[in-house]
Amino acid sequence: MGSITLEKVSKSFGTTTVIPEIDLEIDNGEFVVFVGPSGCGKSTLLRMIAGLEDLSAGRIVIDGKDMSNEAPAHRGLSMVFQSYALYPHMSVYQNIAFPLKMDGQDKATIDKKVRDAANILNLANYLDRRPGQLSGGQRQRVAIGRAIVRQPKAFLFDEPLSNLDAALRGNMRLEISDLHHQLQTTMIYVTHDQVEAMTMADKIVVLNAGRIEQVGSPLDLYRSPRNVFVAGFIGSPRMNLIEGPEAARHDAATLGVRPEHVKISTTEGAWKGTVGVSEHLGSDTFIHVQTESAGKITVRTDGDFTAEHGQPVYLTPDAPRMHRFGADGQAIQRT
């Protein structure tokens, strides 16, 4: 079991409020990602759930029990830190065994659990090494190993992949998702990388300045962002946000259209413009176009499309997939 409920949880440091009241339900076995820009309070929120930060107000309920004032160790949660936070003076084996040793389990049980975890994480050959002798990815696995041996109610990940290089990050992303399928344990994962959020989450919680902007499945957020912030944050490359007369023509203060929902043509279309930079990724091409009526627009098109710098082109947005936002930044429902 591992359901977590936040009830009117808030956090202030002195007079500065970092997190105004937050309510959130996390179901057993769910993979929840907290995503938002730096300083949005996502790490603080995670640390509050872990018990490393005190609550200013509100309750944290884990499996139906109020844990707001419990010590971190009593909450039955495991955490993987951004810096891995391995014990540098202990071997990999001792690192993974540490929580079990603190729990007072006997040597034989500890040994079995450590070896099981090491097998799951491909660490069996490194048990005698010190963290300093491991690569970044291996250290991350040790940190995860240390988290799984306790068989916690939930795992908390605090930006665990941000210290890894891009290729390794992709691999670890898959490994963590795999682990979630294997263990079926609740996971809460904090990241500022919306790609990680989209690819891993069952449920994404978008945070901005301590407030929850939207909660939903990755595709929910992608298809119907509730406001301009979520629209701009989820999706890569980011959604084109158009203001001014072109938006007003559609009865909106801001008009949003994703790069993949704009057609580009050399002959005809709704918005006339000239090609700026083209980014060729092979599979796709991102073309940045300066239009006359809609400003700067990014278009995602197939990898074979080529356009010269300065070439005149025409863009056509896919009307049913356009997003309209009012002056308050909130989405206007389609009628």
Size of residue set near other proteins by CB under 8 A: 22
How many CA atoms are closer than 13 Å to the CA of 221, on its beta-carbon side? 29
Part in contact with other proteins (CB under 8 A); list of ranges 3-11, 87-95, 206-214, 320-328: 87-95
Residue 170 CB contacts under 8 Å (≥ 6 apart), including other chains: none
99 binds other proteins (CB under 8 A): yes
Residue 292 identity: E
Question: What's the rounded Cα separation, in Å, for the pair 34 and 203?
Answer: 9
Tell me how far, at minimum, the Cβ of 160 lies from other proteins, in Å: 12
Part in contact with other proteins (CB under 8 A); list of ranges 17-25, 66-74, 110-118, 186-194: 66-74
Tell me how far, at minimum, the Cβ of 11 lies from other proteins, in Å: 17
How many CA atoms are closer than 13 Å to the CA of 19, on its beta-carbon side? 28
277 binds other proteins (CB under 8 A): no
Part in contact with other proteins (CB under 8 A); list of ranges 94-102, 113-121, 246-254, 279-287: 94-102
Q: Are strands 296-302 and 284-291 parallel, antiparallel or unpaired?
A: antiparallel
66 binds other proteins (CB under 8 A): no
Binder among 6, 46, 48, 79 for other proteins (CB under 8 A) = 79
Tell me how far, at minimum, the Cβ of 73 lies from other proteins, in Å: 4
89 binds other proteins (CB under 8 A): yes
Residue 252 identity: A
Part in contact with other proteins (CB under 8 A); list of ranges 97-105, 236-244, 284-292, 314-322: 97-105
- Helix (H) / strand (E) element for 265: namely strand 262-265
- By CB under 8 A, the residues from 102 to 121 that bind other proteins are 102-103
88 binds other proteins (CB under 8 A): yes
317 binds other proteins (CB under 8 A): no
Nearer CB in complex with other proteins: 94/293 = 94
Nearer CB in complex with other proteins: 72/170 = 72
Nearest CA among 297, 301, 306 for reference residue 283: 301
Q: Are strands 262-265 and 254-257 parallel, antiparallel or unpaired?
A: unpaired
How many CA atoms are closer than 13 Å to the CA of 158, on its beta-carbon side? 23
Kindly provide the residue ranges of all beta strands, DSSP E only, lying in 186-295, ordered along the sequence: 186-191, 203-208, 211-216, 240-243, 254-257, 262-265, 271-280, 284-291
* Alpha-carbon Rg for the chain in angstroms: 23
Q: Which two tokens stand for residue 194?
A: 């919306």
- By CB under 8 A, the residues from 120 to 149 that bind other proteins are 146
**CA 138 centroid distance within chain:** 22
285 binds other proteins (CB under 8 A): no
271 binds other proteins (CB under 8 A): no
233 binds other proteins (CB under 8 A): no
Question: What's the rounded Cα separation, in Å, for the pair 199 and 174?
Answer: 9
43 binds other proteins (CB under 8 A): no
Residue 65 CB contacts under 8 Å (≥ 6 apart), including other chains: none
Q: Is 281 helix (H, G, I), strand (E, B) or coil?
A: coil
71 binds other proteins (CB under 8 A): yes
Question: What's the rounded Cα separation, in Å, for the pair 52 and 197?
Answer: 24
216 binds other proteins (CB under 8 A): no
Tell me how far, at minimum, the Cβ of 174 lies from other proteins, in Å: 24
173 binds other proteins (CB under 8 A): no
Residues forming contacts to other proteins in the complex (CB under 8 A) are 50, 52, 71-73, 77-79, 81-83, 85-89, 98-99, 102-103, 146, 150
